Amino acid sequence: MFAVAEFGFQISGDPKMIDTSKKEIQSHYDFIVVGAGAAGSVLAAELSASGAQVLVIESGGPDDAPAILNPSVWFYNVGGPLDYHLPVTPSPRLNNRKFNMSLGRVLGGGTSINAMVWMRGMQRDYDGWAKNGAKGFAYLLASNFLVPMRVAPAR
């Protein structure tokens, strides 16, 4: 069981809930996942596949905007209504520049508005993460997932 609660927010100014559409919301769930982006969606799917009752709460709307369905115009979404476009705290490491950080505000999160650039990381990074406790991230192990991703047939 996997239910998604969609919340409509005003886009400008402070986020304010203006509408809530409920789809068979139950009174009890085993897990509530906040955010249906890359991580939240996978987590919810895995939990759901194990038989758990999962509610996903997503602040953005559906992922059917034309600029999502046509990946070649992904950049139209940057700074638009599907982008949180949050101001970052100036950092000396970035010459104290002030700018806004793009973060997807829609079902799918950043994956719905990103550039779909994919590259395989360096072995020493994976091995370093594994060494620091990220179980299963060692390069040879990660390759079992990365190689099939690279050769996955187009759907």
Ligand X SMILES: Cc1cc2nc3c(=O)[nH]c(=O)nc-3n(C[C@H](O)[C@H](O)[C@H](O)COP(=O)(O)OP(=O)(O)OC[C@H]3O[C@@H](n4cnc5c(N)ncnc54)[C@H](O)[C@@H]3O)c2cc1C
- The Cα–Cα gap between 126 and 114 comes to 23
Task: Say if residues 73 and 116 touch (Cβ distance below 8 Å).
Answer: no
CB of 10 to ligand X, least distance (A): 14
Q: Locate tokens 């705290």: which residue?
A: 89
CA angle 99, 101, 103 (to 5 degrees): 160
Comparing C-alpha atoms, which of 154, 145, 83 is closest to residue 114?
Answer: 83
CB of 69 to ligand X, least distance (A): 16
CB of 128 to ligand X, least distance (A): 19
- The Cα–Cα gap between 8 and 113 comes to 18
Question: What tokens were used for 29?
Answer: 């769930």
Nearer to ligand X, 53 or 84 (CB): 84
CB of 132 to ligand X, least distance (A): 19
Nearer to ligand X, 6 or 139 (CB): 6
Comparing C-alpha atoms, which of 21, 35, 6, 15 is closest to residue 109?
Answer: 35
Nearer to ligand X, 39 or 94 (CB): 39
Tell me the residue nearest to ligand X as measured from the CB: 37
Contacts with ligand X by CB under 6 A lie at 34-40, 57-60, 78, 102-105, 109-111, 113-117
CB of 22 to ligand X, least distance (A): 15
Nearer to ligand X, 48 or 102 (CB): 102
Nearer to ligand X, 51 or 89 (CB): 89
